[in-house]
Structure 1
């Protein structure tokens, strides 16, 4: 799983989710996506969670696939755990794409 850096504001989480959906589209996987999983670190804040949800909803031309939003309840060591992890699965549960984003940013203030 590739880990990319995010800027230091909640809207960056939405931008990351949009880029994730764009990557699915580039690889012709958007239509094959049956389930999405988004895991957000607790330090990111509620605004970031809403931004991710909205970006994923808007990314699909028809109804978005089932989406499981996970807001972690305890902080993990920042050196190992990304702030935002996104994964897409097909109908059979096979992983189509996974991306992770870490921050200097996404800090709930």
Structure 2
């Protein structure tokens, strides 16, 4: 009985981690697709980065909901931090592309 309970707890932990990884992959795929679609535009890069992140907001929300809520996990703070980090990352990628392919 104790062994069965232990295996159920371990299985639940693994399933949760798998779901979070899948949601994270969906969010990263959305960002990649957005960058590919918008990188050729000559609009200001910060506006493009915000537009890409806005399009991927449902995937970010799903990712945050799938994360286990612990004492130090405030989902609002996590969302803001993740959005800020990803905005900087997307902005960097867009600017690197602009260095190689200047707007005309």
| Normalised TM-score (structure 2) | 0.32
Higher RCO (C-alpha under 8 Å, 6+ residues apart):
1
| Normalised TM-score (structure 1) | 0.31
The structure that is helix-richer by fraction is: 2
The structure that is strand-richer by fraction is: 1
Pair member with larger Rg? 2
